[in-house]
Structures are given as C-alpha cells and as structure tokens.
Amino acid sequence: MNNPIYLICRNLILIAAIALTTSCTEVKTYKIGVSQCGQGQWREKVNDEMLAAQHLYEKNVKVIIANAHDNTQLQINQIDSLVNEGIDLLVVAPNESSQLSATISEVRKKGLPVIFFDRKAVTDDYTAFIGGSNVEAGRASGEYSLEVVESMPINGKQPFIMEITGHMSTSPAQERHEGFAKVMAEHSEINYVCREGDWTSEEACRITEEQIKTGILPDLVFCHNDGMATGVYKAVVEKKVEGKIKILGIDGLPGEGIEYVQFGHQVGSYIYPTHGEKIVRLALDILTGKYYERENILQGMMITPENVNLVDLNSRELMKQNHDLIIIQDKLEASLKLYNTEHKFLIASIVGMILLAIAAILAMYAIWQSRKTLRERQSMNEEQTLFYTDASNRKLHELFIIPEEQLPQPRSQDMIFAEQLNETIRKNMSNPNLKMEDLGEEMGLSRVQLYRKVKAITGLTPVELLRQMRLQKAYSLLTSTTKTISEIAYEVGFGTPGYFSNCFKKQFGKYPTDLRT
C-alpha cells in the first residue's frame, strides 16, 4: 500500500514497537552464588570485596552469599538453595574437603560452573580454583619461624617450635601443615611438634596452656590463623610467660594480625590474600566464555615487625577504598532503580504520544476525506446547474423533463375504486363461475356494498358490468388476434360459445363471426 497516511502510521507503530521492546528487554544479570564455609574477619573481607566488585566490570553481576557457620550439612543445603534460586555459577569454600564432592558433582551435572576459592573439595570436577597457596603459606611460615628462633638466645638448648593446625578435615590446614612440616623436616636441629587444632582461639589457648603446664616452653608457636594466635597469646599472658614464646599466625588482616604484630603480641602474620574482586572477574570470564586459567594462585606475604606499619597503611587504605566502593555501589544501585523507573515512564510517554499522533493523523485524514467528498458533490451540483441553465443544454434538458400538464393528476376515491374493480374483473373474468360475492370479497366489500357502489359509479349492476367487460375484451381479441371464437369465448369467461355469440349480438348488433370476414 502506497497511501502516505498508511506509511506514516506504519512507521510510527514500528517506532513505538521498537521503543517498547528495547525498554522491555532486560539486560542479562549474571547471578553468582557464593557458599562460604564460615564467618570471621577474613571471610567478611572477601565478601565485601566481592560485593564491591558487582559494578566493577562490564557486565551486570549479582553476588548472593550464604554462610554455613562451619556446618557441612548446612553448607550442602545452602548450595541446593542457591542452585534452585537460579544462580549462573557457584563459588564455594568447602567446609570439609571430603564431604562436599558429591554435592559439587550434582551442581556440575546441572551444567553450572564451580569455582573453589580458598579451600578445595576432594574432587577434580571443578571449573577453576582461586586462592592463596596454602602449601606456600606453610613453607614461608616455616622459613620465617626458623629465622625467628635462630635470632633468639637459646642458651644451648634445642630450639622448640610448636605448630597448631586448623581443622585437619579442611584443605588449608592439610596444605599449611604440609608446607610447614616440610621445612621442619629439613631442620633436624629443631624440636618440632604438631598439635591439631580446629581454627578456634579457644582450642589453641587450651593446647598452649597444656604445653606450658609441661614446663617445656616452645620458643615459637605457629598457628594456622591469627584467630588461633590470639588464643595462644591469651594462654601466654595468663601463664605469665609473655615474651618467652613467640607467636606466628596467618591471615594478616588489618585490625587483626597486622595489629597483633604492631602491638608485639605476634612476631609475624602471613597475609592470606582475599581479592574478592578477582573471584568475580574469574567468574565473569567463565560465564562470558573468555579465556581463564584453571588454577589461580594469589600472592601472599609475610608481615614482620619491620614491614608491618607500611602494610598497615596500605591495607587500611585499601579497606577504606573498598568501603567507599560499597557506599558508591549502594548509591549507584538506588540511582539505577530510579533510572529504570524513569526510563520505563519515558518509554510509556513516547508510546502514548505516538499513539496520540496516529489517532490525530487518522482523524485529520477522515476530516480531509469527508471535506473532499463534500467539495466533489458541490462541484457536481454546480456542473449540473450550469448544464441545465446553459442554453445549449436546454433542449437536452427538455428530453428528460415531463411537462406539467402530463404529470399525473390527483385521483378521486371513485377513480381509485373503479381502477381496482377494473383490475379485479380483468383478473377473474376467465372464470365462468365467478360470483359477485367472490368479487366483493376480493374488493373488501359485501355483495350489497359492491352492488351499490358499482351501480352509483357506472349505472350498471355488477353482473351487467362483468358481462360488458367480457364482451369488450372479446371484441378486442377478435379484432387483434387470430384466436378462434370458441377460444375467445372461454378466455373471457362465457360457459358456451353459443351463449357468447347471442350476448355479443345483443351488445354490438352483430355476431362475432361477422367481425372475422
């Protein structure tokens, strides 16, 4: 259709449809489910970093965190819930390395990528790992412990180093121990014992008190995290052996390990890197089909009394920036919500305006059309007037115009009756048995009424009128057709041709046969 109005309306509808579809197409948000084995400062820091990274990259990301409070069954349930919530990828720090393999396999079977971070489960069925090297953390702590004890006055006695592990069902405890024990094994001059802890400061405190009670004080206690190191410090203070036992931990967080080194409670702490933003980056790379490394080892470092202030400064600055980022992100999310609402409102207004424009165009088109028809009619009228008033056309005009005197005149009641009667008689005259009652009935009159009316108008009785009309018709048929006399007699309603002939003679003074010669 090439009608311009149709084209304009079609294009406007197209624009409205495009505006609607673009406003309705939601930008994909990648849902990252995070299953944390437990709580504590270290995990809170990772969580904050992951949340802050939600708006850091080119894609929309939603980080959903669940905390299992060191309970493996709870963690399994939480992973199920996260998957049911429709996450696109699972980030998990398994509470116990051997207990989560089946759950992880289930998640993988559903086609979801799985990132292990910080801890691993005993399975090779995972997409990627990201975290510090725990073997390296143990090794570096071993080397540093040697340095520390070597610098201590030992008065001829064998240096004594005690290791208190995290829960040995977890991979970091296994690997930290592996790294530390390896260094110790290379130094037979060291008296080295390893006691199994459970990541809590209470258990570390209890183990230390037990050791102090034996009267053989360790020169250095290495704990698998700074939390446990505070338990050791507590025992040392309580047993009044402060300064005699050096304490080393892992995690190196501001407000925790870093402060303990600054206060002199600890001789050092190994920074076990968090980098939540790198976890989110890795997740996005996997989800968007980009290249990624399967094993991603984050760099750690030893905090000592020598570098602690510098590390503290940097860490605080980083923490503050992270905190600011979270605030900015909250504001951003609020503005985004507002923007989305306004955007939808704007699109609705545009669509509304387009529909109004279409309605206006259609209305104007309809008005224009009717005016056009009106104008056409007017000009036709004018043409007609011109046609009839123009002298050359007058003759033609007369062809179609009936002179007034020939126009039908108003008819009287009697005239109407007479015409009706004439009609009815003509219709029925061929019936030789026609009765006056039948005639009257057809005219809507009784026999008497018919008699009076016919008599008044014609001066004849209905029977006389019928006979006269039959004979006149017969006369006309005799003179205008080749039908036989008998045929004509029957046609006009006479019972026998003889009777017809007699009546005819009486009426016209001659026999029907006379008219045929």
- Please tell me whether residue 116 binds ligand FRU under the rule CB under 6 A: no
By beta-carbon proximity to ligand FRU, the closer residue of 43 and 470 is 43
Contacting range for ligand FRU; rule: CB under 6 A; set: 13-21, 39-47, 449-457, 493-501: 39-47
Those residues whose C-beta lies under 8 Å from the C-beta of residue 488, and which sit 6 or more positions away, are 474, 477, 478, 481, 500, 512
By beta-carbon proximity to ligand FRU, the closer residue of 44 and 442 is 44
By beta-carbon proximity to ligand FRU, the closer residue of 88 and 251 is 251
Note the Cα 379 to chain centre separation in Å.
Answer: 57
Supply the DSSP string of 264-304, one letter for each residue: TS-SEEEE----HHHHHHHHHHHHTT----SEEEEP-EEE-
What is the smallest separation between the CB atom of 301 and ligand FRU, expressed in angstroms?
Answer: 14
Contacting range for ligand FRU; rule: CB under 6 A; set: 37-45, 387-395, 414-422, 477-485: 37-45
Please answer whether residues 174 and 168 qualify as being in contact, where contact means their C-beta atoms are separated by less than 8 angstroms. yes
By beta-carbon proximity to ligand FRU, the closer residue of 136 and 491 is 136
By beta-carbon proximity to ligand FRU, the closer residue of 40 and 462 is 40
The CA distance from 167 to 174, in Å, is 8
The CA distance from 479 to 494, in Å, is 18
What is the smallest separation between the CB atom of 65 and ligand FRU, expressed in angstroms?
Answer: 13
Q: What's the sign of the alpha-carbon dihedral 386, 387, 393, 394?
A: negative
By beta-carbon proximity to ligand FRU, the closer residue of 68 and 162 is 68
Residue number closest to ligand FRU, CB atom: 225
What is the smallest separation between the CB atom of 148 and ligand FRU, expressed in angstroms?
Answer: 20
What is the smallest separation between the CB atom of 291 and ligand FRU, expressed in angstroms?
Answer: 28
User: What ranges in 151-265 are assigned the alpha helix state H?
Assistant: 171-185, 201-213, 226-238, 257-263
Q: Looking up tokens 């006379």, which residue turns up?
A: 514
Question: Which two tokens mark 126?
Answer: 């995972």
- Please tell me whether residue 172 binds ligand FRU under the rule CB under 6 A: yes
The CA distance from 132 to 276, in Å, is 12
Distance of CA 504 to CAs 428, 461, 511, Å?
19, 18, 6
Site string for ligand FRU, 300-319 (x = CB under 6 A): --------------------
Figure out which of the listed residues 30, 35, 40, 201 binds ligand FRU, where binding follows CB under 6 A: 40
Figure out which of the listed residues 30, 117, 199, 500 binds ligand FRU, where binding follows CB under 6 A: 199
Please answer whether residues 133 and 172 qualify as being in contact, where contact means their C-beta atoms are separated by less than 8 angstroms. no
What is the smallest separation between the CB atom of 253 and ligand FRU, expressed in angstroms?
Answer: 9
CA-based angle 252:253:255, to the nearest 5?
A: 125
Q: Which of residues 212-251 bind ligand FRU (CB under 6 A)?
A: 225, 227, 250-251
Supply the DSSP string of 66-114, one letter for each residue: EE-TT-HHHHHHHHHHHHHTT-SEEEE--SSTTTSHHHHHHHHHTT--E
DSSP state of 487: H
What is the smallest separation between the CB atom of 256 and ligand FRU, expressed in angstroms?
Answer: 9
The CA distance from 505 to 496, in Å, is 15
Figure out which of the listed residues 51, 76, 94, 119 binds ligand FRU, where binding follows CB under 6 A: 119
Site string for ligand FRU, 126-165 (x = CB under 6 A): ----------------------------------------
- Please tell me whether residue 260 binds ligand FRU under the rule CB under 6 A: no
Longest C-alpha distance within the chain, in Å?
184
Those residues whose C-beta lies under 8 Å from the C-beta of residue 7, and which sit 6 or more positions away, are 1
Within 13 Å of residue 185, how many CA atoms lie on the same side as its CB?
A: 8
Contacting range for ligand FRU; rule: CB under 6 A; set: 35-43, 105-113, 356-364, 467-475: 35-43
By beta-carbon proximity to ligand FRU, the closer residue of 44 and 106 is 44
Question: Which two tokens mark 510?
Answer: 């001659």
Size of the site for ligand FRU (CB under 6 A): 13
By beta-carbon proximity to ligand FRU, the closer residue of 219 and 251 is 251
By beta-carbon proximity to ligand FRU, the closer residue of 201 and 425 is 201
Question: Which two tokens mark 75?
Answer: 């963690």
Figure out which of the listed residues 13, 20, 38, 326 binds ligand FRU, where binding follows CB under 6 A: 38
The CA distance from 336 to 356, in Å, is 30
Beta bridge partners of 335: none
Figure out which of the listed residues 43, 246, 467, 470 binds ligand FRU, where binding follows CB under 6 A: 43
By beta-carbon proximity to ligand FRU, the closer residue of 120 and 467 is 120
Q: Looking up tokens 């018919």, which residue turns up?
A: 450
Figure out which of the listed residues 30, 32, 34, 42 binds ligand FRU, where binding follows CB under 6 A: 42
By beta-carbon proximity to ligand FRU, the closer residue of 49 and 88 is 49
The CA distance from 62 to 64, in Å, is 6
Site residues (CB under 6 A) for ligand FRU? 38, 40, 42-43, 118-119, 172, 199, 225, 227, 250-251, 272
